[in-house]
Structure 1
């Protein structure tokens, strides 16, 4: 099971490390290894959230997520995205931006750092909306009941998540964005840039998330009709037509996963510049890490981990909320990537431990109930 799920990750790791040695020697090997660990530690919560979505897809779309999806994740977000950011912020052509990334690494790093406010605002708002929509939904299983019960009641107010997100964005634009951190330790006013980028992140979430949610609802409706059609076919012996909507629904959920992965990768891409400004080594290291995150996502789905440890998804969403806030704070202040990674790990570890305690309590209660039944039977009651 482990080899089947993580086989591609092991292969990509071997190829990536060999490529690093050929490109820059043993020093490059060490850098790529560090970047891989960085990406995995920062994106573990991403894997948990992705698993909650991916478990709704069939084996075909899970395979697409691991193949086509990883190409988008590695080449799109870890290689092309930083170059596109530089091209837009510096108003350069794509070819010129690539030349800059390969030949003038210091200038390239400077331009990416200067573009960080817009990146953080876009990603921060997208992730914040994911967190808010989660905590305002009334769920049967609650981790922090004292907090989640009143929030679920507040969630009945229409568009509350959007209103809170816009308030947070306005506060960010009027505070941290007015002294945005730039290359060299200087600070400039980026309020307008942050406002526009944040609104773009909000719109992106509403479009992609809305479409995936719509088609997911339609898929559930079609599955109910399919079940009814199966029962009817069994009674009458007539052939039934296949449901065609599943592919469309899965496609939009796949699209949602890719945008979600993009938002999670912002902190990893930015944090990588603290280790190296070589775009090739960055792509190799973050790409290896991204592959493990994807394999871990599929592993969680196939093992049914989210069903066994019911609070894991809660912990991951709280980590998303924390990451969203941290991204907005980093517009003005520099925060060590170790802190960013540890917050997510601690929250998920706490939710895992709570899940284990819950499972033990349920097992103990069932065992006690079973022993009571045996006692009643043996006593003839």
Structure 2
């Protein structure tokens, strides 16, 4: 199971490290290895969130996420994205930006770093909305009941998440954005504009995918009400995924859910890409190291779905969402302050670790084995 799920990640790690050694020697090999570990530690909570969404999709779209999605994650966000930032910031063409990245690495690093306030505001607001929508929603399981119960009651107010997010953005623009460490000067307008863009992106992509998901559930409910008992009994295996979720999303619903997943992954990668410049300013070393890390995050996502882990350990999603909330705050804080990526990664790992231990304790108290007895997920090919 472990080798089948992580086999591609192991193979690409070996090939990537060998390539790094050939191209850049022992130093390059060490840099790529460090970047891989950095990406895994920073994005560990991303795998839990991805798994929670991926299990809702049918087998076809799960494979799309694990194939096309990984290409977007590795080449799009870890290689093309920094170049696009430079092209937009310096108002130059993409070819000139690539030449700058190869021939003038210090200037390239400076341009990417100067764009950090806009990147942090966009990613921070997107991730903050994910956290707020989770914490303000009434849920069957509550990890920190003393906090989640009153917040769930407050969440009955319409658009509360948006209101809170906008307040946070206004506070950030009037505090950390007035005298930033990256690029210097007052970046209040930039932070406001980028933050609103991140908020709108979440509302559009998340709203559209949620709309189609709701429509699909309505169709399923109508079919059940029509008394298709025979079809339900004979096709139950096809209609249920391994974690006991409803019919796997397909069509438009799955497409927009795929887009939503990719935007989430992009938001998680922001701090990793920016933090990588503390280790190297070579875009190819960066893309290779972060890309290897991204492969493990995808493999971990598959593992969680196949094992039904989120159903067995019900507080894991809570821990991951709290980690997202912490990451959102950290991203906004980094507009002005330098925060080591190790701290960012440890916050996520600790929160998820605590939620896992709480889940284990809950299972023991309820006499549950901790391993789901249900059939595993439809995910048939891990990356």
Q: What TM-score does the superposition give when structure 1 sets the normalisation length?
A: 0.90
Kindly tell me: are residues 364 and 172 of structure 1, through their superposed partners in 2, closer, same or farther at Cα, counting changes over 3 Å? closer
Q: Aligned to 1:346, which of 339, 345, 350?
A: 350
Separation (CA, whole Å) in 2 of partners of 1:359 and 1:244: 27
- 1:202 matched to 2:199? The reply is yes
Moved more, 6-15 or 95-104: 6-15
Matched residue SS, 2:273: helix
What corresponds to 2:276 in structure 1? 272
Q: Gaps spanning 5+ residues in structure 2: where? A: 233-238, 240-246, 370-383
| Alignment partners' CA distance in 2, 1:364 and 1:39 | 34
Correspondence for 1:12: 12
Of 248, 253, 266, the residue aligned with 2:252 is 248
What is the aligned partner in structure 2 of residue 159 from structure 1? Answer: 159
Rounded Cα–Cα distance in structure 2 between residues aligned with 1:132 and 1:124: 12
Deviates more, 1:133-142 or 1:14-23: 14-23
Corresponding residue for 1:371? Answer: none
- Number of residues of Structure 1 aligned to a counterpart in Structure 2: 356
2:290 is the alignment partner of 1:293 = no
| Aligned-partner Cα distance in 2 for 1:135–1:12 | 37
RMSD: 1.9
Change (3 A) 1:64 1:364: closer
In structure 2, C-alpha distance between the alignment counterparts of 1:102 and 1:167, rounded to whole Å: 41
Deviation (angstroms), 1:245: 7.7
- Cα distance in 1, alignment partners of residues 272 and 231 from structure 2: 53
Structure 1: gaps of 5 or more residues = 236-241, 366-381
Matches within 5 A, 1:44-59: 44-59=44-59
Superposition map of 1:58-69 within 5 A: 58-69=58-69
The equivalent of 1:173 in structure 2 is 173
Q: 1:378: which partner in 2?
A: none
- Using the size of structure 2 for normalisation, the TM-score is 0.90
Alpha-carbon distance in structure 2 between the residues aligned to 1:363 and 1:212: 37
Matched with 1:369 is none
- In 1: Cα distance, 2:94 partner to 2:227 partner: 54
Give 1 or 2: higher helix fraction. Answer: 1
Q: State the partner residue of 1:215.
A: 212
Q: In the aligned structure 1, how far is the partner of 2:231 from the partner of 2:30?
A: 62
What is the alpha-carbon distance in structure 1 between the residues aligned to residue 169 and residue 38 of structure 2?
28
Determine the C-alpha separation between the residues in 1 that align with 2:162 and 2:307.
Answer: 35
Going from structure 1 to structure 2, the CA distance change for 1:213 and 1:28 (only over 3 Å counts) comes to same
The question of whether the paired residues in 1 share the 8 Å contact of 2:275 and 2:341 is answered with yes
Q: 2:363 maps to which residue? A: 359
Whole-Å separation in 2 of the counterparts to 1:11 and 1:102: 28
Matches of 2:81 and 2:223 in 1, distance apart? 42
**C-alpha offsets along residues 55-81 of structure 1, whole Å, 9 cap, x if unaligned?**
111222211111100000001100000
- CA 1:306 to 1:103, structure 2 compared with 1: closer, same or farther past 3 Å? same
Alignment partner, residue 309 of structure 2: 305
CA contact 1:62–1:298 (8 Å) conserved in 2: no
Q: For 1:334, which of 323, 332, 338 is the aligned residue?
A: 338
Deviations 1:251-275 (A, max 9, x none): 1111100000000000110110111
User: Is structure 2 residue 19 aligned with structure 1 residue 22?
Assistant: no
Corresponding residue for residue 368 of structure 1: none
Distance across 2 between alignment mates of 1:295 and 1:105 = 32
Q: CA deviation at 1:233?
A: 6.6
Distance 1:179-1:234 versus aligned 2 partners, 3 A rule = closer
1:218-242 deviations in whole A, cap 9, x for unaligned?
A: 121222334456727769xxxxxx9
Measured in 1, the distance between the counterparts of 2:249 and 2:311 equals 26
Cα distance, 1:112–1:307 mapped onto 2, change above 3 Å: same
